Structure 1
């Protein structure tokens, strides 16, 4: 693989990982409301889910290419519905809401990644565009998928840190913040469906 391709892959991966998506927005919102201590199980679920989804992408790209398009088409609508559900819960939550504590489970963050079409498209595009033309080994494809998940995890941690920095601002203006987060999630869902 040429150095130019590796640089292009890295730039693509970093930009894609740091842009807003369901996992990043949920991490930001959870950190703003609950902080690291209460949200760490959810964050861990997001991170582990990221790795599992990228492993699925590697296996899919490597061995199930002909079946991938119908699966992605179905996941697109399931993911959009889940993201809308998440947006509704964010817009209805408040810093003192007891209902929002249910969202802090590991499995909530983990399962979010399975319907997060952004990270599937991220992994599939990166692997098919930057890796598969140069490598035919499953191990190499899998290692690149792990690199994608690591970059994504670092990006989500940056969103968590952003939530920590602005936690006090959130407490004062949570309604406006929740509306903005819900609208951003709505945009994520809409862009998934119209692609």
Structure 2
């Protein structure tokens, strides 16, 4: 159908790739641990929305431009790196409050709209995701597929659905684990700072990475 082959292998591979830790997972876990599962799921929805950008960009051939144009790749890469560093610095500057994490679950530090945009921009501004779609998805599209763009979109939607299932599970699991561990305000603040440092490191690594 649509010129797609080895669909089961694609689904399993996509799920494993989604489970692999990265900036998206770190953001979801941080928001869930410090603000509850709703905040984590909101970040996950933002990440899913960002993935749509890469799906349709790749289907339209824009990812090919990123793969072949070092200038375009550099511009998007630096924008994504700058945003990761900005988010990381914000986490590093976080301060503890007197109330424990459980009491602050209904009073999130960040508005859900801002959390959604964090997830969206963290994913949409990462050119590595665009290159990944260009390299991974075509392996499951037959050379004689009647409509390669449509096949690309279908596979991208399946991949994003897998990702949303995992990301929302991660958000709920992290929130529940945080409650059981009774993470206090100071601990959650240091968690924010630790992961903020990871985000800064990821941003620097992305800025220094080379086009492959």
Question: What TM-score results when the alignment is normalised by the length of structure 1?
Answer: 0.77
Larger radius of gyration: 2
Contact residue 14 and residue 151 of structure 1 kept, 8 A: yes
Shift of 1:141: 1.3
Q: Does 1:171 align with 2:180?
A: no
Query: After the TM superposition, which of the residue ranges 41-50 and 77-86 deviates more from structure 2?
Result: 41-50
Contact residue 76 and residue 127 of structure 2 kept, 8 A: yes
Q: Does 1:151 align with 2:162?
A: yes
Query: After the TM superposition, which of the residue ranges 74-83 and 101-110 deviates more from structure 2?
Result: 101-110
Deviations 1:116-144 (A, max 9, x none): 33432332222233336563512111101
Contact residue 78 and residue 115 of structure 1 kept, 8 A: yes
Task: Report the 3-state secondary structure (helix = DSSP H, G, I; strand = E; otherwise coil) of the residue aligned with 1:20.
Answer: coil
Pick closer, same or farther for the CA change 1:185–1:12 going to 2, 3 Å: farther
Query: After the TM superposition, which of the residue ranges 64-73 and 108-117 deviates more from structure 2?
Result: 64-73
1:194 matched residue in structure 2: 209
Deviations 1:13-36 (A, max 9, x none): 223212222222111111111113
Count of residue pairs the alignment pairs up: 191
- Note the residue ranges of structure 1 that are not aligned, 5 or more in a row: none
Shift of 1:86: 1.0
Deviations 1:151-195 (A, max 9, x none): 222232132123212323443622442243124323432442324
Contact residue 94 and residue 174 of structure 1 kept, 8 A: no
Query: After the TM superposition, which of the residue ranges 22-31 and 168-177 deviates more from structure 2?
Result: 168-177
Question: What TM-score results when the alignment is normalised by the length of structure 2?
Answer: 0.72
* RMSD (CA atoms): 3.1
2:135 matched residue in structure 1: 125
Pick closer, same or farther for the CA change 1:49–1:67 going to 2, 3 Å: closer
Query: After the TM superposition, which of the residue ranges 93-102 and 142-151 deviates more from structure 2?
Result: 93-102
Question: Which structure has the highest helix share of the two?
Answer: 1
